[in-house]
Amino acid sequence: MSGTDKGGTTVKERAGLALNDEFLRKAVKFTTERLRNGKKAAAEQHGNWDEWRERGRQIRLHTIAHLDYYLNLFADNARKNGVHVHFAETGEEAVRISLEIARRVRAKTVVKSKSMVTEELHLNHALDSIGVEAIETDLGEYIIQLAGETPSHIIIPAIHKNRYQIADLLSAEAGETLPPDTTVLAGFVRKKLREKFLEADIGMTGCNFAIAETGSMVLFENEGNARMVTTVPKTQITLMGMERIIPSWADLEVMATLLPRSATGQKLTVYMSGITGPKRVADGDGPEEMHIIIVDNGRSLQLGDPEFQELLNCIRCGACLNACPVYRHIGGHAYGGTYSGPIGAVLTPALKKNVAEWDDIANASSLCGACYEACPVKIPLHEMLIYLRRRKVEAGRGNALETAGMKGFAAVMGNVKRYRTALKLGRIGQKLVVREGGIRLKVGPLKGWNAYRVAPSLAKETFRERWATLEQEIRSDLREMDPTMKERMERAARERENGKGGHSHGEG
């Protein structure tokens, strides 16, 4: 999906549509606050959360620094387990490999567990183009598939919909009116998908973590659908971003502690499946043929980059979205790409070849640092957003008005006389536009800002001016002070200036 496919050509335009959608704003706010509060409670109950965050960060830093070694180790061990391992340098290559497998096994249907990589590759559309039906089996993914939409959140794809909208979608699928009761709706989906599981030719999954020491892949889920996807169909295809590697099962303990608490506030996910190869002779179930496609698609471009390599540390928990004040107001679709929120604002330009198309996405941030505080592996996303803005300007793609404004700001702030003059002129000029203590004008540079808030007016008196007045009052008081006390204060001041002063404990 390009940045122009979600109802507007820029983030500003798409955000404007979202801000005018009162239902969407309430739905996103409600769910993100619940997730954020759950994460906060889970971290507090854990006790030493920051120590574990640092452990997670060190594991990810080490793994990405030695990514080539761990990828090769994983691939070698997976092949020993009977897995067909493919490396795809581009998204197009990953899609081509997937379609070749589907054609070879003459697949008619594919059941999928939740996978952001397949969303990134638009794999459902590619499968449909060769006559293969792809069915999402995660409840949220199934809902938005019926709606013809893309995920609005990494963890909760249908975060922007309520049970009434969902009931309408499922009623259309059922051919009868279903009540907006979550138990009834979930029951209908369970029955519908059970039929799909049993008839599917291929099961397709993403990958939360790949264990290098054994060639295993691990899935986290809460619904059990991924276990059906990985056990019932005869052929399994797993698509994983190349950065999903961790060295050992011992490292998984750290990630299994950090990810669910950060994502949903759970101590553990309901299901955590470790899969090591296809079905063996003694196994009661499992795929007869298993493929793992390791996807680069722009990820390797971040390796060796001191500003963006840590981007590959991400464990896709979605905590930064729940903490971000921008995401909580506009939702995920306003970002225009597969990944939304702070991680999407950095990851999307990083993965895309046409970076200029995504220049505005880094501006969808307040740079408050809430994403860093929420991140379980301490990725400095707020700093990366600044790096992206700087690179845009350095490449000559900056906003002309903004560039002129910053040059003017530098010229004024770099000279005290110009600064004081600008303040005086500003206080005089603002009288034309100040109303009820603020500037409410909706034209020019203030149009976007004042559409949703009021620009503050300049204070009648600056801090420096107030300080000068205070100094004059102090001097006046000193002149009227008892001569003895005045002398003592002046002597103390001289001693401080000469470096002889200290804390007095004996005098009162």
Q: 400 exposed, middle or buried (CB, 10 Å; 0-12, 13-18, 19+)? A: exposed
Judge if 445 and 475 occupy the same domain. no
Same domain, 111 and 244: yes
Phi/psi of residue 369, nearest 5 degrees: 85, 5
The SS3 of residue 230 is coil
Residues 450 and 469 in one domain: no
Backbone angles phi, psi at 286, to 5 degrees: 120, 160
β-pair type (209-211, 216-221)? antiparallel
Domain boundary among the residues 302, 317, 335 is at 302
Last residue of a domain, one of 272, 302, 332: 302
- Same domain for 83 and 145? yes
Decide if 317 is inside a domain: no
Q: What is the pLDDT of residue 351?
A: 86
Tell me if 391 is assigned to some domain. Answer: no
**40: number of CA atoms within 13 Å, CB side?**
10
Q: Identify whether 280 is part of a domain.
A: yes
Q: Which residues contact 114 (CB under 8 A, 6 or more apart)?
A: 136, 138, 140, 141, 157, 206, 221, 226
395-399: long-range contacts at Cβ-Cβ below 8 A with a sequence spacing of 24 or more?
395/356, 397/356, 397/359
Coil/strand/helix, residue 263: helix
Residue 47 lies in a domain: yes
Tokens read off for 35: 């997730």
Q: Provide the CATH number for the domain around residue 156.
A: 3.40.50.10420
pTM here is 0.85
For the chain, how far is it from start to end, CA to CA, in angstroms? Answer: 73
Pair 287, 236: CB distance under 8 Å:
yes
Is residue 297 domain-resident? Answer: yes
For residues 53, 58, 63, 64, the Cα torsion angle rounded to the nearest 10 degrees is 90
Q: Structural domain tally of the chain?
A: 3
Inside any domain, residue 362: no
In the DSSP assignment, the letter for residue 468 is: H
Of 158, 156, 155, give the one whose Cα is nearest residue 143: 158
Domain C-terminal end among 423, 440, 456: 456
Whether residue 435 sits in one domain with residue 290: no
70, 147: one domain: yes
Do 209 and 286 reside in the same domain of the chain? yes
Q: Are 264 and 155 in contact (CB under 8 A)?
A: yes
- Tokens 């190349």 found at: 242
Q: Please list, in sequence order, all residues whose beta carbon lies within 8 angstroms of the beta carbon of residue 427, skipping any fewer than 6 positions away.
A: 458, 460
Range of the domain at 484: 463-497
Residue 6 backbone dihedrals phi, psi, to 5 degrees? -120, 45
422 in any annotated domain: yes
Asked if residue 412 and residue 491 are part of one domain, the reply reads no
Same domain? 144 vs 265: yes
Domain check: are 297 and 407 in the same one?
Answer: no
Claim to verify: residue 228 and residue 291 sit in the same structural domain: yes
CB atoms within 10 A of CB 102: 24
- Least Cα distance to 274 among 289, 253, 258 occurs for 253
Is 428 inside any structural domain?
yes
Shared-domain flag, residues 488 and 404: no
- One digit per residue, the tens of pLDDT, for the chain of length 508 reads 333 344 567 898 899 899 889 889 999 999 999 999 999 999 999 989 999 999 999 999 999 999 999 999 999 999 999 999 999 999 999 999 999 999 999 999 999 999 999 999 999 999 999 999 999 999 999 999 999 999 999 999 999 998 999 999 999 999 999 999 999 999 999 999 999 999 999 999 999 999 999 999 999 999 999 999 999 999 999 999 999 999 999 999 999 999 999 999 999 899 999 999 999 988 889 999 999 999 999 999 999 999 999 999 999 999 999 999 999 999 999 999 999 999 999 999 988 766 777 888 888 889 999 999 999 999 999 999 999 998 888 888 887 888 888 889 999 999 989 988 998 888 888 888 888 878 887 777 777 777 778 888 888 888 888 888 888 888 777 667 667 766 777 787 777 677 654 444 444 3
Q: How far apart are CA 212 and CA 341, in angstroms?
A: 30
- Gap between the Cα atoms of 349 and 311, Å rounded: 12
